[in-house]
Structure 1
Amino acid sequence: MHHQLLVLGGDLPVHRLGFGAMRMPENDPAAAHALARRAVELGVTFIDTADSYDLGRNEELLAEALHPCPDGVVVATKAGQCHPGDEWIPLGRPEYLRQQAELSLRRLRVERIDLFQLHRVDPAVPLADQIGALRQLQDEGKVRHVGLSEVSVEQIVEAGRITPIVSVQNRYNLDDRRSENVLEHCERHDIAFLPWLPIAPSVRPDSPVTEVARRLGVTPAQVALAWLLRRSRVMLPIPGTSSLRHLEENAGAVNVDLPDEDFDRLGQARSDVVPA
């Protein structure tokens, strides 16, 4: 995976295929620990979590599995969205964001969070106040770099006037490319783009992805990830899974050599149905 490096914020080199920890099973700590450790064994150096995943339990599981974190492994977390019951609610009041950062520091057992991302922009709070809280955490040495999630180009630019933005996490996959303009902005400004839900849920048996996978002798998920990696040098997919087998399969995507014609054809074959 050595050729697949991306440098976050000018000082954090990570492999371009990360691991999204959200689906680690909270009710089976041994299985969760095994997943996190196997990800690192497979060469993953970027792990994505959030304060709201299982109400903080996800961060604790990562710390239990990996603390002290191996050299070069970056655990990124997020705040700005609460998850009571089934709904996700943006919550961007500055004092809330600062409190959540303190809780994440404690749960992750670190002195400083390498990458702290605003999970959602809270429409009820001025963006400058939300980013200002993250900037204050940086000034206090509690956060190294700041990222954003589910944002527009305008919001990235506005936030960037307050503190440098090193990553953007928007939904993006072969079926859903509404964030194309955001990806292009990130490329122009050397901002890492972390597509969440990188493997479209709709990889149907008759889809072009499945057809390419069959011909190359790999899996559809590997083709979907290989396409993303090839699509942009700032792309950092973070596929998540609760299965060791899928984790290993995903990691193999970096070795898939996607022929030019397949890359182009898949790029054109985006479905007309964009999930809401």
Structure 2
Amino acid sequence: MENKEMNNDSGNSRRKFIQQNAVAGIGLVFASSLMSSSTNDLEINKVDIDKKEKMTTRNLGKLKVSALGAGCMSISANYGSPAKPEEGIKTIRKAYEKGVTFFDTAEVYGPYTNEALVGEALAPFRDKVAVATKFGFQIGASQITLNSRPEHIRKVVEESLKRLRTDRIDLLYQHRVDPNVPIEDVAGAVKDLINEGKVLHFGLSEANTTTIRKAHSVQPVSAIQSEYSFMERSVEKNGVLDICEELGIGFVPWGPLGMGYLTGKLNAQTPFDTKLDLRSAFDRFTPESLAANMPIVNLLNRFASNKNATSSQIALAWLMAKKTFIVPIPGTRNIPHLNENLGAYDVQLSASEFQELETEFLKLQVHGGRMNAMQMTFCE
């Protein structure tokens, strides 16, 4: 949606929503005990950084990364109870062994715990990977508000660097656009951090085309991150994908597997923890929507059966075939699921297969909004 002035009622509702729901939909739940014990003394799988599988690279602006990345959020928060830290670290290191060089996290995942886990997991080979994290929120003890003031951005970056055990952030996103801070000021603050070497590349998440263009005029934007999957096509219609192509900006889809739905492992009877699983409040994850959207999964499965693949692999292969500047970041907390996701790299869709998928999808209807109306106020 385009930028617009918010009336008082809307503003009050928004502030109330932030306080009561702690920014539902941005990938945040409080879980102070996620990493109550250090994993430094755990015998976690050792990585031979000189012996790893290779994966072709793609460019996010001028940042070169593996064609498939790894979203790390779900290891620590938001899709049910967190994984054990040692299992999360094993999964991240296995992803590197299998050729992944792009890892995505944020300060609000946990909060804070996911950055710490990613930092520990990547420490043995930090110089061989790209790390993306995000700013944009004021995280308090009982409430969270938007905050992209330049002085706050700098504070967040300094703290993220410590948790990530690094001296630079390869890709720094604004997690959500702050209507109270001109995007030119945000871009200028990140530009200063880039000049200092603390940040290497600038990104935006869930921004509209106007914001992207304004930011890009101050500091070149390397990547846009928004929800995008075989079933969620908003960025094809609102011009975001087009402006990325126009300006040479990479695109990083979050939720590339429909937040788990396109795996085919969810159905109308699947329970979602109302305290630990953010999907429990999303329109698309009501029992009715889960049942009504099953033809989409059936379509993917039909193609998968012809290619000795899974619905997840077809969904990811479709994204990679869509545009060469797209780098999906599927998330997982276990190695079997990781192996399945990365198997998509070997699934090749011919031009005719890709077109058939597109044609068949147009015959289907997607039921339920991707998030509820109030949560969507955080997305431009």
- TM-score, normalized by the shorter chain, greater than 0.5: yes
After superposition, where does 1:178-197 map in structure 2 within 5 Å?
178-180=234-236, 181-197=239-255
| C-alpha distance in 2 between matches for 1:27 and 1:83 | 23
Q: How far is 1:238 from its partner?
A: 0.3
Q: Does residue 263 of structure 2 align to residue 212 of structure 1?
A: no
Q: How far is 1:60 from its partner?
A: 0.9
| C-alpha distance in 1 between matches for 2:154 and 2:55 | 37
| C-alpha distance in 2 between matches for 1:244 and 1:86 | 35
1:88–1:44 distance in 2 versus 1, CA, 3 Å: farther
Any conservation in 1 of the 2:68–2:327 contact (CA below 8 Å)? yes
Q: Does residue 342 of structure 2 align to residue 255 of structure 1?
A: no
| C-alpha distance in 1 between matches for 2:158 and 2:213 | 27
Q: Does residue 144 of structure 2 align to residue 59 of structure 1?
A: no
Give the share of equivalent positions with the same residue, in percent: 39
Q: Does residue 75 of structure 2 align to residue 24 of structure 1?
A: yes
| C-alpha distance in 2 between matches for 1:145 and 1:65 | 22
1:3–1:185 distance in 2 versus 1, CA, 3 Å: farther
RMSD after superposition: 2.2
Equivalent residue number for residue 272 of structure 1: 365
Equivalent residue number for residue 13 of structure 1: 64
- Residue identity matched to 1:53: Y
Q: TM-score, normalising length from structure 1?
A: 0.92
Match of 1:53, SS state, is coil
| C-alpha distance in 2 between matches for 1:104 and 1:17 | 24
> Unpaired segments of 5 or more residues in structure 2?
1-52, 77-81, 265-293, 372-380
Match of 2:111, SS state, is helix
Match of 2:103, SS state, is strand
- Residue identity matched to 2:208: S
Q: Does residue 92 of structure 2 align to residue 36 of structure 1?
A: yes
1:86–1:176 distance in 2 versus 1, CA, 3 Å: farther
Q: TM-score, normalising length from structure 2?
A: 0.68
| C-alpha distance in 2 between matches for 1:272 and 1:28 | 38
Match of 1:257, SS state, is coil
- Residue identity matched to 2:59: V
- Residue identity matched to 2:72: A
Q: In terms of mean alpha carbon deviation, does 171-180 or 206-215 score higher?
A: 206-215
| C-alpha distance in 2 between matches for 1:156 and 1:182 | 8
Q: How far is 1:42 from its partner?
A: 0.9
* 1:215-271 CA-partner distances (Å, limit 9, x unpaired): 211110000000000000000000011121111100110100113332112223054
- Residue identity matched to 1:267: E
1:24–1:85 distance in 2 versus 1, CA, 3 Å: farther
- Residue identity matched to 1:264: Q
| C-alpha distance in 2 between matches for 1:248 and 1:73 | 19
1:74–1:261 distance in 2 versus 1, CA, 3 Å: same
| C-alpha distance in 1 between matches for 2:308 and 2:57 | 25
> Unpaired segments of 5 or more residues in structure 1?
none
Q: How far is 1:188 from its partner?
A: 2.5
* 1:179-229 CA-partner distances (Å, limit 9, x unpaired): 112112212222110010001244365421111112211110000000000
Equivalent residue number for residue 332 of structure 2: 241
Any conservation in 1 of the 2:136–2:153 contact (CA below 8 Å)? yes
1:35–1:100 distance in 2 versus 1, CA, 3 Å: same
Match of 2:306, SS state, is helix
Any conservation in 1 of the 2:120–2:165 contact (CA below 8 Å)? no
Higher gyration radius (CA)? 2
1:129–1:258 distance in 2 versus 1, CA, 3 Å: same
- Residue identity matched to 1:227: W
Any conservation in 1 of the 2:54–2:98 contact (CA below 8 Å)? no
| C-alpha distance in 1 between matches for 2:227 and 2:161 | 26
Match of 2:65, SS state, is strand
Q: Does residue 230 of structure 2 align to residue 174 of structure 1?
A: yes
Any conservation in 1 of the 2:60–2:251 contact (CA below 8 Å)? no
Any conservation in 2 of the 1:24–1:35 contact (CA below 8 Å)? no
Q: In terms of mean alpha carbon deviation, does 149-158 or 133-142 score higher?
A: 133-142
Any conservation in 1 of the 2:55–2:99 contact (CA below 8 Å)? no
* Count of aligned positions: 275
* 1:51-83 CA-partner distances (Å, limit 9, x unpaired): 111121111111211214344310111111356
Match of 1:160, SS state, is helix
